[in-house]
């Protein structure tokens, strides 16, 4: 059996028993270490599946994407770290590129990104806003940390960044309903991050950003080449944008009991 690569695969996860096995199998054969930071309240057997595939499992309270990813990285013992989500798979081609990169003593960069290709409603999406979707996931130990605005964690690198060519496969939403359900929690984070900002910025976003998002994805980035899935992705992306900016303009919710009392006073 070949010697494992000096790579710690770092995964954070909620209840992903249905999907995480495929992700783990794509790295278990060649990575020296797999670390899984699991949400404390998960009870669907994700931990057992991970342990069976050689992962070190840590249960922790949810600290947000940034905090959770940094926690996983801090537990890594190998010279290189690879971040992987539970719904992603490292293809053999990408694994081979990673192997040649980390094995070379003259590897010039502190971190590497690579394209991510998403399967959506039975079709691999290769245009629009979703591809090539370069993700920065491979870095030397001690050269980077996670930062950013929830829920969009980003890797901040101290050094240069290189690029690998092979795809990471992304098995995201199983269906359209699952896709739509994500819009509200993502817009919650958006609104919280921008609370107190000028409301006119919300109106400008509401008026122009959704139309631009659709035009860019469907026409400029050739989303029309991805069939009806590309058309729908462009529209739902625009809808996600208009929802976020509309919620910036939405008045605060009032206490219904207080509203009823005020109504009675005016009768």
pTM of the model: 0.89
Does the residue 218 lie in any domain?
yes
Distance in angstroms (rounded) separating the CA atoms of residues 48 and 7: 22
Q: What is the average per-residue pLDDT within 133-149?
A: 97
- Write down the pLDDT at residue 30: 97
Does the residue 80 lie in any domain?
yes
Tell me the pLDDT tens digit for each residue of 186-235.
888 788 877 665 555 667 778 899 999 999 999 999 999 999 999 999 99
Distance in angstroms (rounded) separating the CA atoms of residues 210 and 170: 25
Same domain? For 181 and 150 the reply is no
Domain around 204: 176-249
Does the residue 193 lie in any domain?
yes
Tell me the pLDDT tens digit for each residue of 175-197.
999 999 989 888 887 888 776 65
Does the residue 256 lie in any domain?
no
Distance in angstroms (rounded) separating the CA atoms of residues 40 and 18: 18
Number of domains in the chain: 2
Same domain? For 137 and 188 the reply is no
């Amino acid at each position: 059996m070949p010697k494992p690569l000096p790579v710690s695969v770092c995964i954070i996860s909620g209840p992903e028993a249905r999907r995480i096995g495929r992700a783990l199998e794509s790295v278990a054969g060649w990575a020296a270490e797999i670390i899984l930071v699991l949400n404390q309240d998960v009870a669907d057997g994700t931990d057992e599946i991970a342990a069976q595939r050689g992962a070190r499992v840590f249960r922790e309270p949810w600290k947000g994407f940034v905090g959770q990813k940094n926690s996983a990285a801090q537990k890594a013992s190998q010279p290189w770290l690879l971040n992987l989500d539970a719904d992603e798979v490292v293809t053999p081609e990408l694994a081979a590129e990673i192997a040649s990169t980390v094995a070379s003593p003259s590897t010039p960069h502190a971190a590497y990104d690579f394209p991510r290709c998403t399967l959506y409603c039975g079709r691999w999406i290769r245009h629009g806003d979703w591809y090539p979707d370069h993700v920065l996931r491979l870095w030397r130990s001690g050269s980077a940390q996670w930062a950013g605005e929830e829920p969009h964690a980003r890797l901040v690198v101290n050094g240069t960044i290189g690029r690998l060519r092979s795809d990471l496969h992304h098995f995201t939403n199983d269906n359209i309903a699952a896709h739509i359900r994500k819009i509200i929690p993502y817009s919650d984070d958006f609104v919280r991050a921008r609370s107190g900002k000028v409301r006119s910025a919300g109106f400008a976003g509401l008026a122009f950003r959704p139309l631009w998002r659709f035009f860019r994805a469907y026409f400029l980035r050739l989303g029309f080449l991805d069939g009806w899935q590309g058309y729908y992705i462009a529209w739902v992306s625009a809808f996600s944008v208009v929802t976020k900016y509309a919620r910036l303009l939405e008045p605060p919710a009032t206490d219904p009991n207080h509203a009823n009392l005020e109504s009675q006073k005016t009768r």
